[in-house]
């Protein structure tokens, strides 16, 4: 539905308005505060929304879909207000629920065609787009069989397909990897990445596992108990603050001393011959090689490693990087 | 299916226009965007309505889902067909079963049909958690209720209208007076419509509160049969105790008795259930009020149910 129809894949780099923005968004259920003064912007591309169960992720999605009025504060989805423009938002947004949501006695084709019409597509377009979308998510001949006989992975694909069939500008994917085995998880994550890069549809994907989102998310928002903990671009978070793993054959403690003298932050491991050096700049690399050459020891490994998001979001443990 | 036609220029990855290398155009059938019209709530309601009606008759569902509705349609359609044949062949001067007697006479089959159809309409979506998929689309909760109610009502009416129409065709072929027959047929359709609206409302409420489909079927059929039986019993008891006025209004307790009373009051026909009903034009008013209150009450309950159901 992009009027300009840019052929370039819409990535995170495109300078476009955020897909979702909230300001002081609060939602309470009686005494329970589900969302508290949430002010956050989610850019286009893939945004990971991370939080434990009950952190307020689902409430946030409900508010953004216009199904639940906020107690106070405002939200904007694709530039529209969910309180007044809920219908218009739901026409341009897709949603994949976390829970089981598929009837078992119809085929994937039949069901997705129906839901495409329910999104406002004319009947013939609904048919055509259903076939296309099911193919894109990797369902082929089996799409004519009743959903009851599908594996979990296939059902997740149908759920994803129904959220994409009407060519939304933005999809909310609620725990799309739930219940999948590691291979299925990888495939689903790859698919989600394609939704953003190849299909040009912005994605907001929730998970309670930060680790799996770091692969695909351009931006990560962490909420806990309805409160915003962190909102970071993953590129900023993991690339600018890298670490260097160094392993030498001997004289580890001496190397640590030298590097510390040079001003580097060093964390040796228990054995003493492996160390992690904070990569504060290129000079750190030179310092390591110089020190190793001076000491005349063998350099086994010198590896640049990105921070894991899990480490970033546990700042008090961030310094202790396991070797 | 992707057709081998040229792809619109909005396709990501499609190199449109002549490239420096030549006039070749590479079509990458990637994800195609949609720039066309997106309809609003009326279309969405209509689509859900059509899907509901289709589903009730088992269309687009596995073969076993088609068995029950079509067996019952056969049970409702074959007797009028036989009656029509008998009238044509024996040259009788009137139909052995009147148009208004027909829904009363086959009330059990009608109850079975609605008992099977109503849970299909709503319990499936509740049981399998489909509601979030509907609610995240451009529609309101009330649209869902309206579409399901209209779908079930029309399906039920359609099934009974087939029987009515078969009776009419038989009567016309037997060259019975067309004017009278058409009036009778229209009266019969009115009764079927009143019955469809009432039964759909009641059955949908029961189904919406019993997410397990089999249970929903059992509860609806049991409720309709039991209410009917108990009402007949109460009417008998009231008559024996000489509570004549009470006995006259008691059919209002049973949906089928209520519709029968409305038919008698509005159309002036004789009771298909051999009830003694209040005399005069005013006698029908309480029955009409009960009908309206039941339908309104059930729909209110349904809307209330769906305010909570399907939390996203």
Per DSSP, the residues of B165-233 read: HHHHHHHHHTT--HHHHHHHHHHHHHHHHHHHHHHHHHHHHHHHH--SHHHHHHHHHHHHHHHHHHHHH
B111 within a domain of the structure (yes/no):
yes
Q: How far apart are CA B246 and CA B250, in angstroms?
A: 6
Q: Are residues B210 and B295 in the same domain?
A: yes
Inter-chain contact B33–A167, Cβ cutoff 8 Å? yes
ipTM: 0.81
Interior CA angle at B203 toward B147 and B282, to 5°? 95
DSSP tally for chain A: helices H, then strands E: 11, 13
Judge whether residue B312 has pLDDT over 60. Answer: no
Q: Are residues B126 and B10 in the same domain?
A: no
Judge whether residue A238 has pLDDT over 70. Answer: no
- Segment A140-158, tens digit of pLDDT: 999 999 999 999 999 999 9
Q: How far apart are CA A151 and CA A156, in angstroms?
A: 9
User: Which of A97, A106, A136 has its CB closest to that of B132?
Assistant: A97
Predicted pLDDT of residue A258: 79
pLDDT band at A126 (very low <50, low <70, confident <90, very high): very high
As for how many domains chain B has, the answer is: 2
Give me the residue label for tokens 């930060």: A210
Which residues of chain B does A197 touch, with a Cβ-Cβ cutoff of 8 Å? none
Q: What are phi and psi of A71, to 5 degrees?
A: -70, -40
pLDDT band at A314 (very low <50, low <70, confident <90, very high): low
Q: Are residues B190 and B241 in the same domain?
A: yes
B113 within a domain of the structure (yes/no):
yes
Q: A1 Cβ partners below 8 Å, 6+ apart?
A: A92, A167, A168, A169, B33, B34, B35, B38
Predicted pLDDT of residue B13: 43
Q: B33 Cβ partners below 8 Å, 6+ apart?
A: A1, A2, A5, A167, A200, B8, B10, B11, B12
Which residues of chain B does A94 touch, with a Cβ-Cβ cutoff of 8 Å? 136
**pLDDT averaged over every residue in chain A:** 84
Under 8 Å between Cβ of B65 and B56? no
B61 within a domain of the structure (yes/no):
yes
Predicted pLDDT of residue A118: 96
Give me the residue label for tokens 């519709």: B259
> For A317-321, B113-117, B184-188, B250-254, which range has the lowest pLDDT when averaged over its residues?
A317-321
- Percent of chain A whose pLDDT exceeds 70: 85
Question: Which is nearest to B208 in space by CA: B306, B132, B129, B103?
Answer: B306
Inter-chain contact A105–B136, Cβ cutoff 8 Å? no
| Chain B: closest CA distance from residue A36 (Å) | 20
Inter-chain contact B43–A200, Cβ cutoff 8 Å? no
Judge whether residue B100 has pLDDT over 70. Answer: yes
Judge whether residue A312 has pLDDT over 60. Answer: no
B312 within a domain of the structure (yes/no):
no
Q: How far apart are CA A255 and CA A273, in angstroms?
A: 9
pLDDT band at A75 (very low <50, low <70, confident <90, very high): very high
Inter-chain contact B137–A115, Cβ cutoff 8 Å? yes
Task: Count how many residues are written for chain B.
Answer: 312
Range of the domain at B8: 1-36
Question: Which is nearest to A63 in space by CA: A26, A91, A37?
Answer: A26
CA atoms within 13 A on the CB side of B116: 22
Predicted pLDDT of residue B25: 62
Q: Are residues B49 and B95 in the same domain?
A: yes
Q: Are residues B30 and B102 in the same domain?
A: no
Q: Are residues B24 and B173 in the same domain?
A: no
For residue B122, give the chain A residue with the closest CA. A103
CATH 3.40.50.300 domain range(s) in chain A: 20-234
Fold classified for A243-305: Alpha-Beta Plaits (3.30.70)
Q: Are residues B55 and B152 in the same domain?
A: yes
B86 within a domain of the structure (yes/no):
yes
pTM: 0.80
Mean pLDDT of the region A99-110: 92
Which residues of chain B does A120 touch, with a Cβ-Cβ cutoff of 8 Å? 38-40, 43-44, 137-138
Fold classified for A20-234: Rossmann fold (3.40.50)
Q: Are residues B187 and B82 in the same domain?
A: yes
Q: Are residues B78 and B30 in the same domain?
A: no
Inter-chain contact B128–A100, Cβ cutoff 8 Å? yes
Q: Are residues B24 and B143 in the same domain?
A: no
Is the four-CA dihedral B26, B28, B33, B34 of positive or negative sign?
positive
Q: How far apart are CA B187 and CA B207, in angstroms?
A: 30
Give me the residue label for tokens 């492996």: A274
Q: Are residues B150 and B16 in the same domain?
A: no
Residue A155 tokens read as 């059902």
Interior CA angle at B147 toward A91 and A118, to 5°? 25
Q: Are residues B121 and B15 in the same domain?
A: no
In the sheet that holds A299-305, the strands lie side by side as: A266-268, A274-278, A243-248, A299-305
Predicted pLDDT of residue A264: 73
Inter-chain contact B47–A125, Cβ cutoff 8 Å? no
Mean pLDDT of the region B286-302: 95
- Segment B117-172, tens digit of pLDDT: 999 999 888 889 899 999 999 999 999 999 999 999 999 999 999 999 999 999 99
CATH 3.30.70 domain range(s) in chain A: 243-305
Is the four-CA dihedral B306, B48, A100, A98 of positive or negative sign?
negative
């Amino acid at each position: 539905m992009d009027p300009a129809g840019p052929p370039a894949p819409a990535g995170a780099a495109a300078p476009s308005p955020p897909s979702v923005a909230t300001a002081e968004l609060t939602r309470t259920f009686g005494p329970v505060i589900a969302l508290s003064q949430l002010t956050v912007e989610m850019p286009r591309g893939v945004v990971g929304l991370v939080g434990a169960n009950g952190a307020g992720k689902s409430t946030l999605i409900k508010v953004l879909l216009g199904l639940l009025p906020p107690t106070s504060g405002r939200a904007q989805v694709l530039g529209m207000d969910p309180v007044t423009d809920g219908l218009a938002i739901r026409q341009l947004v897709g949603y994949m629920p976390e829970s089981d949501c598929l009837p078992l006695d119809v085929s994937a084709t039949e069901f997705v065609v129906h839901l495409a019409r329910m999104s406002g597509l004319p009947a013939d377009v609904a048919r055509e787009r259903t076939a296309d979308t099911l193919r894109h998510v990797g369902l082929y001949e089996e799409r004519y069989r009743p959903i009851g006989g599908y594996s979990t992975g296939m059902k997740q694909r149908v759920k994803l397909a129904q959220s994409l069939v009407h060519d939304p500008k933005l999809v909310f994917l609620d725990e799309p990897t739930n219940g999948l085995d590691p291979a299925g998880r990888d495939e689903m994550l790859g698919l989600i990445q394609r939704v953003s890069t190849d299909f040009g549809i912005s994605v907001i994907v929730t998970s309670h596992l930060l680790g799996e989102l770091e692969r695909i998310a351009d931006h990560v928002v962490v909420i806990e108990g309805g409160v915003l903990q962190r909102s970071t671009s993953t590129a900023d978070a993991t690339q600018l603050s890298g670490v260097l793993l160094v392993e030498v054959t001997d004289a580890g403690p001496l190397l640590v001393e030298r590097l510390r003298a040079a001003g580097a932050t060093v964390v040796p491991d228990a054995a003493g011959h492996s160390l992690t050096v904070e990569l504060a700049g290129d000079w750190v690399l030179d310092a390591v090689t110089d020190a190793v050459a001076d000491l005349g020891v063998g350099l086994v490994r010198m590896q640049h490693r990105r921070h894991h998001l899990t480490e970033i979001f546990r700042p008090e443990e961030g310094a202790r990087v396991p070797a | 299916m992707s057709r081998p036609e040229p792809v619109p220029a909005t396709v990501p990855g499609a190199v449109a226009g002549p490239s420096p290398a030549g006039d070749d155009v590479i079509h990458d059938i990637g994800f195609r965007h949609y720039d066309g019209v997106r309809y609003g709530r009326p279309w969405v309601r209509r689509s859900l309505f059509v899907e509901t009606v289709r589903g009730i008759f088992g269309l687009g569902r596995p073969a076993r889902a088609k068995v029950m509705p079509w067996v019952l349609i056969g049970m409702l359609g074959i007797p009028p067909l036989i009656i029509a044949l008998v009238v044509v062949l024996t040259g009788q001067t009137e139909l052995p079963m009147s148009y208004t007697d027909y829904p009363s006479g086959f009330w059990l089959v009608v109850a079975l049909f609605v008992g099977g159809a109503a849970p299909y309409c709503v319990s499936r979506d509740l049981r399998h958690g489909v509601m979030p998929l509907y609610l995240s689309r451009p529609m309101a909760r009330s649209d869902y209720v309206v579409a399901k109610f209209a779908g079930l009502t029309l399906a039920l009416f359609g099934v009974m209208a087939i029987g009515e129409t078969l009776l009419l065709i038989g009567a016309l072929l037997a060259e019975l007076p067309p004017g009278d027959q058409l009036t009778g047929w229209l009266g019969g359709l009115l009764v079927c419509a009143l019955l469809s609206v009432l039964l759909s409302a009641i059955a949908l409420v029961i189904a919406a509160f019993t997410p397990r489909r089999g249970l929903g079927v059992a509860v609806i059929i049991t409720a309709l049969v039991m209410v009917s039986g108990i009402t007949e019993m109460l009417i008998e008891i009231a008559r024996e105790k000489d509570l004549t006025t009470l006995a006259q209004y008691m059919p209002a307790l049973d949906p089928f008795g209520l519709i029968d009373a409305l038919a008698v009051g509005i159309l002036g026909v004789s009771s298909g259930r051999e009830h003694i009903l209040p005399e005069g034009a005013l006698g029908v008013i309480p029955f009409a009020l009960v009908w309206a209150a039941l339908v309104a009450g059930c729909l209110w309950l349904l809307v209330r149910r769906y305010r909570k159901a399907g939390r996203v």
